[in-house]
């Protein structure tokens, strides 16, 4: 089975973490809104959802940490490349700037 972490880009992971935070927030809000309901089935459901939310928060924190670590690693690699190849980095930046300028000027 392929590793999902290696298949998702950092941007995709950041979006997933952001979306999951929204879902967790909404689920917590739902739990608070139903706190006054004293039905036994509702209490069981709230307990299961509460446990799932605690687990999801832990996994979310791990995923967020992984995104931060990968972003820092990419920044370090870029910094190392620029320090080892300053003129090449300047050339690449110039070409990218020219291409962006050409694309923007066509609009």
Q: What is the pLDDT of residues 74-93, one digit of tens each?
A: 999 989 988 999 999 899 99
Residues 6+ apart with CB under 8 A from 82: 89
The whole-number average pLDDT for the span 62-77 is 89
Please state, in angstroms and rounded to a whole number, the distance separating the CA atoms of residues 46 and 32: 9
Q: What is the pLDDT of residue 101?
A: 92
Name the H helices within 1-107: 4-7, 10-33, 40-84, 86-106
Q: Which residue has the higher pLDDT, 12 or 5?
A: 12
Q: How far is CA 47 from the centre of its chain?
A: 27
> Does the CA dihedral 36-40-42-46 come out positive or negative?
positive
Q: Which residue has the higher pLDDT, 103 or 32?
A: 103
Please state, in angstroms and rounded to a whole number, the distance separating the CA atoms of residues 29 and 16: 20
- Asked whether the predicted pLDDT for residue 6 surpasses 60, the reply is no
Q: What is the pLDDT of residue 44?
A: 81
- Asked whether the predicted pLDDT for residue 57 surpasses 60, the reply is yes
What the block records as the tokens of 97 is 């700037």
């Amino acid at each position: 089975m392929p590793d999902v972490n290696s298949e998702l880009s950092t941007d995709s992971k950041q979006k997933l973490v952001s979306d999951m935070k929204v879902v967790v927030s909404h689920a917590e809000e739902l739990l608070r809104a139903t706190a006054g309901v004293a039905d036994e089935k509702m209490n069981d459901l709230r307990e299961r959802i509460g446990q799932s939310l605690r687990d999801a928060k832990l996994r979310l924190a791990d995923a967020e940490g992984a995104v931060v670590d990968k972003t820092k690693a990419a920044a370090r690699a870029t910094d190392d490349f620029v320090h080892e190849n300053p003129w090449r980095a300047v050339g690449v930046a110039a070409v990218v700037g020219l291409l962006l300028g050409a694309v923007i000027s066509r609009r």
